[in-house]
Amino acid sequence: MALLFAYCLTKIKVIFIMCTVVIKNDLKGIMMNIVDKQFNSDNLLEAPKNSIQKYRFYSQLFSLAINIWIGIEFFLFIQYLRNPQATETVIRPPGVEAWLPIGSLVSLRHYFETGIVNNIHPAGMMIFITILIMALLFKKGFCSWICPVGFIEEMLGDFSEKVFKRRIKPPKWLDYPLRSLKYIILIFFAHAILVSMSSLAIETFIYTDYNIASDFLMIRFFTDITPFALKVVIGLVLLSLVIRGFWCRYLCPYGALLGMLNFISPTRIVRNSKTCIDCSACTTACPSFIKVEKVKEVYSDECTGCMACIDSCPVEKTLEIKVVKKSLTLNKAKWAAVMLLFFWGSMLGYKMFGPWQNEVTVEQYRQVLPIVEKGQMAHP
């Protein structure tokens, strides 16, 4: 059994590495093409001087690889739970809790009220807090540098632009109401968790079998997807091919929350109107449809800090990142490096010193897993 497990794990690693190489080779050209178009470059892989877009691509690819690996580890953990005779222990990857933001918000409220980090999903709450702090310090940098869903949305948008040679944006009368949808979803969850639920209800929910099994429920959505849910997923993919970043722009409540924090972030992308030549390269490059050429400061909930506008600007020091209250100019590469170091350094710190691993026993997981797989796990 041990040899079979090791063999399967080795095969999965090989397939994973091969897929990563193929994805990297195929998508790098698409990513760099978006930047190169601003400079009329004839060479698809030739990026503008000092461009950090290729490093952003590598950062996104690294994050996607980490999440795929977490998914593989979680799948192996489930297989281990299904086999009571297994001789080798498989540890549940705490990083899977990053995909449980609603439960993390519940945990955060519980922490503020009790001062206790619950032992069911501690990693989820710590990741959630880290992302919120990131939004305060580095705008929505998480969305454009780390989030794997954002990365997939970008790739769909880049593919669409490469095939159809155009970028479609809905008219204002449609765009603004659609953008409000993600805030309506955010308000719904925020009201349900922060207002409607009592302190007793919060604490009771945290220790229910439903919350313990929430990561199983999340993965089951994809492994045992209903016809309706599959149609919704396919619809979102198709819409993301038509309208760049459809999910992120219109429906993601996480992005809505980070966008609100974006408004109070001390850092801004600032335009020097004296040196600006009104070439519109920055506006064309912006994946969020922000009219950068028309503003002195990019003060928008849609700005993700991707730096595409800065990289596209042909005039040096016309677009820069600044700490607005102190007029301090920040180097874009160092800004990105510090942001990534903050996030991944925090993850490493939690893993080494806690809180990270939960205290749910294997026996508890083996009790709730069959209920989930039979579709009998009811919301409390």
Residues 293, 303 contacting (CB under 8 angstroms): no
pLDDT at 28 over 60: no
Give percent of the chain above pLDDT 90: 75
Closest CA to 313 of 301, 298, 334: 298
Task: Kindly report the average pLDDT of the chain as a whole number.
Answer: 87
Exposure of 312 by Cβ count < 10 A (0-12 exposed, 13-18 middle, 19+ buried)?
buried
Question: For 267-334, which CATH class?
Answer: alpha beta
Domain boundaries, the chain: 2-262+335-373, 267-334
| Predicted confidence (pLDDT) per residue in 207-250, tens digit | 999 999 999 999 999 889 999 999 999 999 999 999 999 999 99
355 cis-preceded (ω within 30 degrees of 0)? yes
Q: What was the pLDDT predicted at 48?
A: 56
List pLDDT tens digits, range 358-377.
999 999 999 999 999 999 98
Q: And the tokens for 286?
A: 């912006």
123: amino acid identity, one letter: A
Query: CA-CA distance, 255 to 249, in Å (whole number)?
Result: 8
Tell me the C-alpha distance between 314 and 166, whole Å.
22
Q: Is the pLDDT of residue 71 over 50?
A: yes
User: If you write DSSP's letter for every residue of 325-338 in order, what string do you get?
Assistant: TTTEEE-HHHHHHH
Average pLDDT over residues 267-282: 93
Q: CB–CB of 311/53 below 8 Å? A: yes
Average pLDDT estimate for 115-141:
95
Q: Is the pLDDT of residue 93 over 90?
A: yes
Q: CA of 4: how far to CAs of 11, 86, 235, 303, 318, in Å?
A: 11, 11, 39, 48, 59
Average pLDDT estimate for 297-326: 91
Sheet of 267-271, strands arranged across:
267-271, 319-323, 328-330
Q: Is the pLDDT at 39 greater than 70, yes or no? A: no
Q: How confident is the model at residue 49 (pLDDT cuts 50, 70, 90)?
A: low
Per-residue pLDDT band at 149 (split at 50, 70, 90): very high
Structure tokens at 226: 């209903």
Beta strand ranges found along the chain (DSSP E): 267-271, 319-323, 328-330
